[in-house]
Amino acid sequence: MKHLAKELIVKPNSKIKLGEIDPADTHGISKADAQGQLEKNCQRLSVLQYQLYAEARRSLLVVLQGIDAGGKDGTIRHVMSGLNPQGVEVTPFKAPEGAEKRHDYLWRVHKAVPEHGKIGIFNRSHYEDVLVVRVHDLVPKPVWSQRYDQINCFEEMLDASGVRIVKFLLYISKDEQAKRFRERLEDKTKNWKFSADDIKERAYWDQYIDAFEAVLRKCSTKAAPWYVIPANHKWFRNLAVSQILVDTLDGMDLKFPKPPADLKEIQFE
């Protein structure tokens, strides 16, 4: 299997243009090969999660971002299906409300960071505060433009504290988004997922692309890299995310802790 992490990573300070990336690209991998490898990856993730939990000195934070209908929920469902639910925390970030609005924008995010030994998954994230906020001019530009550096410092602090961060932009085409919206309208089991706001947000497509490109250029760092996942094909999306997560956890060189006593001395009557 190709080294997808190297092919899909956004290098720090790169001048990335999403228009130059094909959201239907499968990097020469067939659907049949991907399905077999995805199963192996999910099995490997289960083993690595157990090691992460046993070691209990570090954690993994997975950030999923994407334009509406990009596949964040589907990615969680298909890639994380083999994980032990006791060791995984999924946090969706919607518009702040209540106490969240009375604190700084990172307050609710920091509270959701996974404790050592666990995997945390952010369905949307702190990046909404330089995406939606920017596109809809919810705060002045001098405010949101400072947040890139603030986010980088925040993520560097988490990394230094033992939180490994990996961030995915699930990138689909405008035509693919329209197709998925139609499916939500035509399939009664998916009607609940459709919102009139989806159509309103679609009118801001170009502004969102500009905002995503700024995030990728300014906030893909060694401590917390971004990966752009061509996500028109759901099977490739699932393969790429699972492979990068396996590579990330394998690269952490997880170790089982030593037993608290000399097991050779343990006897049973």
Q: Hey, where are the domains in the chain?
A: 4-12+30-254
Q: Over the stretch 151-190, which tens digit does the pLDDT of each residue have?
A: 999 999 999 999 999 999 999 999 999 999 999 999 888 8
Average confidence score pLDDT of the chain = 95
39-63 burial string, b = 16+ CB within 10 Å, else e?
eebbebbeebbebbbebeebbbbbb
Q: Over the stretch 193-212, which tens digit does the pLDDT of each residue have?
A: 888 888 899 999 999 999 99
Residue 1: band (very low, low, confident or very high) from pLDDT cuts 50, 70, 90: low
**In the chain, pLDDT over 90 holds for what percent of residues?**
88
Q: Over the stretch 39-88, which tens digit does the pLDDT of each residue have?
A: 999 999 999 999 999 999 999 999 999 999 999 999 999 999 899 999 99
The answer to whether 124 and 65 have CB atoms below 8 angstroms apart is yes
The answer to whether 242 and 77 have CB atoms below 8 angstroms apart is no
Counting every residue, how long is the chain?
269
Q: Which fold has domain 4-12+30-254?
A: Rossmann fold (3.40.50)
pTM of the model: 0.95
